Amino acid sequence: MNEQVLLEKVRKGEEMPLNSQIQLVLSLAFPAILAQLTSVVMQYIDAAMVGQLGTYKSAAIGLMSTTLWLTGGVLSALAIGFQVQVAHKIGAEEDREARRIMKHGFITGLLFSGLILLLGLLIYRHLPYWLGGTEDIARDASRYLFVYIVALPILMTEFLSSGMLQSSGMVKLSSVISIVICGLDVLFNYILIFPTRTVTFFGYRFQMYGANLDVVGASLGTMCAETVGTLAMLYIIYKRVDKLKYRASDRLISGGSYVKHLKKAIKIAYPVAIEEIILGSAQVMITRIVSPLGAVALSANSFAITAESFCYMPGFGISVAGTTLVGQSVGANRKRLAGRFGCLVVGLGILVMAGTGILLYALAPWMMQILTPVKEVQQLGVACLRIEALAEPLFGAAIVAGGVFRGTGNTLKPSLVNLCTMWLIRIPIAAFLAVRIGLKGVWIAMCIDLMMRGAIFLVMLWKWNQNQKKLEVESKTKSDGN
């Protein structure tokens, strides 16, 4: 039985035995996990390509990585505000309203990303220096950032398109497109980063064209791949997804409903946006803490973060399944089922990330060798990764539980937890330890933060699940009484 048939059972209020619930969780989670793992492979290849350009080029990209996370996090927060509403309306079988919300989301996204683009153009030359970059790093960093800024409307549209596909239950299709984007990114980067060169392939030698754009080629290649993937998703949404595809009878925009949907999107998104801004600012602060440790530490930190994504990206894939399942269950007013799905996906997240944490610890030397040929950077990166591996199971609980709460529309409490653990635990400990034991101290602080965060999310999930059971019993009792 495929996931669309099972999701239809959720929306129609039909009974679902535990094995069907597990089947639905796995059918949505594993394509998303595969897409996230493919994304990690893409990041590995990207980082390895840039790593061949030398330590300073790698440090230039590493310097800007936290800024890119911050910007991407704010854009994704807005996308979540509309995605959750669409999932609820589809769960309630109000497809026309879901399409209207989707259109309002795209219009808002383009306006919002355009404003950030204008701001970015004003500061991109100065930002690397503000982050502590030296002259030999800052110029390449600003060039790398410029391409990203110009492409912000495309990224915003991609976040919204992917969210709409996931809300409709088309997680598998969204994942396939993500895999295609990853493949195209590798191809474009291979062409754009390096100069024209002689390549040997299965014994044949030929000239491979190269644009020789180094760090600019890395960002330009990624953005070209994102553009192709975004256009593909838009076509599928408007032509192929039955619940969301274009109908001539639908109005493009309605002033009253637009304001209503925007207000609700802001209510859902603002805690996530504030969280992303403050967490992103915290990551920028971490970069400020790491920058004085030198180019080797900055490169090792950047490469180790890329390597660690092997562990936590599967958690984000499972989180996508959690948001979809809980969102549609809430929309269908099936509270107990929402609670069951929440527990199932979080349990799967802990299990998967415990396994990837073990692999991270064992394979850390090999992973760093792929990313950089510099021995000193390799050794420092391995030490950091083995510290972080201990936190992965609880980090998985935090990531997936966050997706579950997003599906309910409750984004404030998870955001507060993330903010408090980052600013009250990670940053103070990192600042204290960095000057005493270097980069390893920063990663010890990260490990402590993530373990505390995961434990808090598990308590929150248990309480929420108990409350869902209570609410459904009360609702059934009231219905029987009437």
Instruction: Tell me the DSSP string of 229-267.
Output: HHHHHHHHHHHT-TTTS--TTS-S--HHHHHHHHHHHHH
What integer is the mean pLDDT of 383-404? 92
Highest mean pLDDT among 95-104, 148-157, 399-408: 148-157
Give the global pTM: 0.69
Contact between 78 and 261 under an 8 Å Cβ cutoff? The reply is no
pLDDT band at 110; cut points 50, 70, 90: very high
DSSP-assigned letter for residue 208: E
Q: Please state, as a whole number, how many other Cβ atoms lie within 10 Å of the Cβ of residue 459.
A: 11
CA distances from 56 to 133, 209, 292 (A): 11, 25, 14
Q: Hey, what are 362's tokens?
A: 């064992």
**Whole-angstrom distance, CA of residue 458 vs CA of residue 463:** 9
Residues 6+ positions from 258 with CB-CB distance below 8 Å: 104, 107
118, burial (CB in 10 Å: exposed 0-12, middle 13-18, buried 19+):
exposed
Q: What confidence score (pLDDT) does residue 251 get?
A: 62
- Render pLDDT for 316-348 as a digit per residue (tens, 0 to 9): 878 878 887 888 788 777 888 888 888 888 998
198, burial (CB in 10 Å: exposed 0-12, middle 13-18, buried 19+):
exposed
Q: What confidence score (pLDDT) does residue 4 get?
A: 61
Q: Of 126 and 254, which is predicted with more confidence?
A: 126
Stretch (H or E) spanning 205: strand 204-211
Judged against a pLDDT cut of 80, whether residue 188 lies above it is answered with yes
Q: What confidence score (pLDDT) does residue 255 get?
A: 60
**Whole-angstrom distance, CA of residue 25 vs CA of residue 161:** 22
**Whole-angstrom distance, CA of residue 233 vs CA of residue 141:** 30
pLDDT band at 448; cut points 50, 70, 90: very high
- CA 436 to mean position of chain CA atoms: 33
Three-state SS across 128-176?
HHHCCCCHHHHHHHHHHHHHHHHCHHHHHHHHHHHHHHHHCCCHHHHHH
Contact between 206 and 198 under an 8 Å Cβ cutoff? The reply is yes
CA distances from 115 to 111, 112, 118, 119, 122 (A): 7, 5, 5, 6, 11
Q: What is the distance between the terminal CA atoms of the chain, rounded to a whole angstrom? A: 36
CA distances from 232 to 102, 239, 242, 406, 466 (A): 17, 11, 16, 26, 41
pLDDT band at 116; cut points 50, 70, 90: very high
Residues 6+ positions from 482 with CB-CB distance below 8 Å: none
Question: Within 13 Å and on the Cβ side, how many CA atoms surround 101?
Answer: 30
Judged against a pLDDT cut of 70, whether residue 303 lies above it is answered with yes
Secondary structure (DSSP) of 362-398: HHHHHHHHHH-S-HHHHHHHHHHHHHHGGGHHHHHHH
Q: What confidence score (pLDDT) does residue 1 get?
A: 47
What integer is the mean pLDDT of 135-162? 89
- Render pLDDT for 267-277 as a digit per residue (tens, 0 to 9): 877 777 776 77
Q: Of 430 and 257, which is predicted with more confidence?
A: 430
Percent of the chain clearing pLDDT 90 (strictly above): 26
What integer is the mean pLDDT of 167-175? 79
**Whole-angstrom distance, CA of residue 25 vs CA of residue 254:** 36
- The two most distant CA atoms of the chain are separated, in Å, by 81
| Three-point CA angle 468, 471, 476, nearest 5° | 125
Q: Please state, as a whole number, how many other Cβ atoms lie within 10 Å of the Cβ of residue 197.
A: 10
Percent of the chain clearing pLDDT 70 (strictly above): 86
Q: In 3D, which of 195, 187, 180 has the Cα closest to residue 46? A: 187
